[in-house]
Amino acid sequence: MSKKLLVVCFVLACGLGSIPLAKAFAQDTTLSDQQITLIKDNCVSSRNTLNQLHVSDALLRVNMGQAYESMTTKLMDRFNSRISYNSLSNSDLVAVSKDYVSALDEFRLDYITYEAQLSSALKIDCEKQPADFYDAISVAYKGRNLVHDDVLKLNQYIDKYQLALDKFEKDYQVIGEGAKK
Amino acid sequence: MSEDLSPYSKHRFLILIASSILISFVLVVISMALYNSSGAAQLDLSRPGYVSVRSKAVTNDSDFENYSSTGSINQKVISEFKVLYTKQATKTKAADAFGGDPLNFASLGLELTTEQ
């Protein structure tokens, strides 16, 4: 029994111990000495750039988030309600609005993730841990691209709502002409 | 008058203070966790480090008209809404938010060029 326990402990210790080793090896293979030197040399300037980006992105998030939020709360939802209030069909408009709200939620979540990634990159001392700094920037880079994709998606839904609006107008005109006849 | 024999009775005041501090500490930890996880922290430009952009945040969006959710629907109403929607949509989509490549290693000066 005690032998089995010892074996299990040994396997666990080997497994856990190999994680940081694998990480270290992975970092060694990723960056060449030249790259490490370059990161150390440009450490201060790249950190300054990242700091500025961190601040300007926060402002962008506040202003764009507000604009995207207003599109749904001040226009889409209210127009959809007005159509329902008049007992007209607005299924297409409601469907696009729902998708838009989902995309907006995704944008919020992805931004939270990206901000956390960029913050953790900024906490790393690039002179002492250049490889970690490089990896953290790679992760934040992907996170920012995701946020950008979300913005593009939101813009697409804004266009889709416009198309649904045109369709609603056409349908309304058809109903109006039918009523006249 | 009977004397209170509870071992804590002599330190009631200290226990009250300590428990108050403990409860407030727990509440602060919970609220900070909520503040960070909810995304409120990311929108809070009153934090230190955001002084330079604080004034640039849009605080008054009165030009973004609140459309009325009640009232009749007719061709004129639809056309008016379409004009309003197009105006705001164009404004919202104008900025290429989070576009560009500022986090690119080349932009940060962290990429080796052929000369290096």
Pairwise CA distance, residues B59 & A62, whole Å: 10
Instruction: List pLDDT tens digits, range A118-150.
Output: 999 999 998 899 989 999 999 999 999 999 999
Length of chain B: 116
Among B50, B61, B95, beta carbon nearest to A70: B61
Q: Is B33 on the interface with A (CB under 8 A)?
A: no
Q: What ipTM is given for this predicted complex?
A: 0.78
- Computed over every residue of chain A, the mean pLDDT equals 85
Domain chopping of chain B, boundaries: 9-94
| Nearest residue on chain B to A105, alpha-carbon basis | B39
Q: pTM value?
A: 0.79
Given a cut of 70, is residue B62 above it in pLDDT? yes
Instruction: List pLDDT tens digits, range B70-81.
Output: 999 999 999 999
Domain chopping of chain A, boundaries: 35-180
| Contact across the interface for A86 and B72, Cβ inside 8 Å | yes
Cα angle, residue B81 at apex, residues B76 and B86 outer, rounded to 5°: 130
Residue-level pLDDT at A119: 92
Instruction: List pLDDT tens digits, range A64-97.
Output: 999 999 999 999 999 999 999 999 988 999 999 9
Instruction: List pLDDT tens digits, range A16-42.
Output: 444 444 444 444 446 788 888 888 888
| Contact across the interface for B61 and A65, Cβ inside 8 Å | no
Rounded average pLDDT over B80-95: 92
Pairwise CA distance, residues A80 & A64, whole Å: 23
Residues A116-129 as b/e (b if ≥16 CB within 10 A, e otherwise) read bbbeebbebebeee
